[in-house]
Structure 1
């Protein structure tokens, strides 16, 4: 008897950061004997970072999955206000072998009540929001706690995907895909974390972050209050 394929589900939404999704998607679609579904709260076309992802499946129509992944983005705390969507996410997570996120997708998992008492990570700029959902923030690229696997900000999604691939298909399968995609990071600047970025660059980024912070915190607090 042929083994049933491993079912990967990405749930995307408007104002998502596309690399949070497309980076892991590029890798996880190479899982042996797997199928990948792209869903969204309403189904249909989803606008994200200047790209449109077409013909997504309404999340309510997805019967189940083995791995569910939530990417992050500016719309993460907005979609976390949708109680019908969060109910569908809880349903799918309950039947999944792995519950996962990249970047601020962790805040969506938190809004669904899936982070209580769990170690988790997200983009460094928003880790202070994780405790609102009962999570224990960990400043690492990839964090695992039981069947929960969370990735840090944006590009950490590739490290996350390789970690997941190794877990499901073994280290050799993950390394084969890494080699095929020539994933050998050698950035021209050592400016990818607050600890390594030049002080002026960090200051300027934080000015931008502070513009977003009141709305995002208010939405996160509203979602947390409903738990």
Structure 2
């Protein structure tokens, strides 16, 4: 089984490595790390990853995984080669998936038109403008497309995908293997519960103010 992880400058590392850790250990899986061109590229935190193949080298993967980015507005404008590859590769893929704002790239490729999909809470309006039926769920399955909400939801997406590829027993075994049993130090807060003060504090932290 060929799983293509689409890489691009400014992507969010955990969006890729979360589902990768879930999927890559299963026998028979071949992971491909593809981008517009091979070589190193910097994530949105500066961490570097390496693309080992170009989009043209992997035209028909079985599974597509598209990470998001904290720079998603710029990425939508810049990553035209990725969008074109998604539009071409999706029809033959068994599953097309995204994490966080990666769903906006799927939407720009025309894959989410009229489909239910989720994304990071900060990109919901944009996702709707691009033609998707926006959901606030953590993971959304619509036909042969699976989308996940922000960053850490990529692990949930990977397990959801694993259950559909190999059955629930295998997915549960993978969950045990990666010891995925979240106990966050603070009460989980969604965008609907955060309140304007927390959102403003987040903006200040991210802007360095």
User: Separation in 1 of the partners of 2:29 and 2:179?
Assistant: 22
Q: Please give the TM-score of this superposition, normalised by the length of structure 1.
A: 0.84
**Deviation of the 1:31 alpha carbon:** 3.0
Is 2:49 the partner of 1:53? Answer: yes
Q: Secondary structure in 2 aligned to 1:39?
A: strand
Tell me what 1:23 maps to. 18
Tell me what 1:13 maps to. 8
Contact 1:143–1:149, Cα closer than 8 Å, also in 2: yes
Is 2:36 the partner of 1:34? Answer: no
User: Separation in 1 of the partners of 2:192 and 2:134?
Assistant: 17
Q: Which residue among 144, 158, 161 is the counterpart of 1:161?
A: 158
Tell me what 2:63 maps to. 67
Is 2:93 the partner of 1:96? Answer: yes
Please tell me the root mean square deviation across aligned C-alpha atoms, in Å: 1.8
User: Separation in 1 of the partners of 2:126 and 2:6?
Assistant: 21
Q: Secondary structure in 2 aligned to 1:197?
A: helix
Contact 1:12–1:39, Cα closer than 8 Å, also in 2: yes
Contact 2:40–2:48, Cα closer than 8 Å, also in 1: yes
Contact 2:35–2:51, Cα closer than 8 Å, also in 1: no
Query: In structure 2, do the counterparts of structure 1 residues 58 and 160 end up closer, same or farther at CA, with 3 Å as the change threshold?
Result: same
**Deviation of the 1:194 alpha carbon:** 2.2
| 5+ residue gaps, structure 1 | 1-5, 212-227
Q: Please give the TM-score of this superposition, normalised by the length of structure 2.
A: 0.91
Contact 1:190–1:197, Cα closer than 8 Å, also in 2: no
Deviations 1:103-135 (A, max 9, x none): 000011111111100000000121111121110
**Deviation of the 1:206 alpha carbon:** 4.8
Q: Secondary structure in 2 aligned to 1:154?
A: coil
User: Separation in 2 of the partners of 1:75 and 1:198?
Assistant: 23
Q: How many residues align?
A: 205
User: Separation in 1 of the partners of 2:164 and 2:41?
Assistant: 30
